[in-house]
Amino acid sequence: MTTFGTLLSRDLPRIFESDYEDGSLEVMATGELPLELAAAAKSLAHWISTGIPLALMTPLLGLLLNLEAKAVPALVATMLVGTPAVSFLGGIGAALTLRARRGGLLLALLVLPLYVPTLIFGISSVSAATMGHGGYEASMLILGAISLASCVLAPLAAAAALRMQI
């Protein structure tokens, strides 16, 4: 799971950085479309470019880490359900650290407490599937609720942070 966080958070500081540097973020903030929609689109683009490929690579990574074959579908499902939360919550951190010179470490410190529930329920789901107890659906449902809540609330928080930065 450490690789999971590292791969997803590597590009997070640069989500809004290029738009801020060339002035297009100010144009988005003063345009007709709400800034929340732009923040949601940027986070969704990050999830599509980073989260989905990582979720598609998980069967191979699971084999490399000697994961049991019966847990691989649960791992893929967990990654598909959990990675939107990581991308959208990371968008909040990227917006908060937009003008910081070396915001990567600060971003990690700000967003890590928000990632913890996602990681806990993702690990819980995969470990329940590995143990063969069944019942990993409850962890998946909570993980899905976390992802849905972050997809709804994170663009609002990111837009507020971006307005403070501009």
pLDDT digits (tens, 9 = 90+) for 2-52: 455 555 556 777 788 888 888 888 888 888 889 999 999 999 999 999 999
What is the residue range of 57's domain? 2-165
**Residues 78-127: tens digit of each pLDDT:** 999 999 999 999 999 999 988 887 777 888 888 899 999 999 999 999 99
**CA–CA dist 158, 95 (Å, integer):** 6
How many domains is the chain partitioned into structurally? Answer: 1
Q: How many CB atoms lie within 10 A of CB 57?
A: 14
For the chain, report the end-to-end CA distance as a whole number of angstroms. Answer: 35
Query: Under 8 Å CB-to-CB from 108, ≥6 apart: which residues?
Result: 9, 93
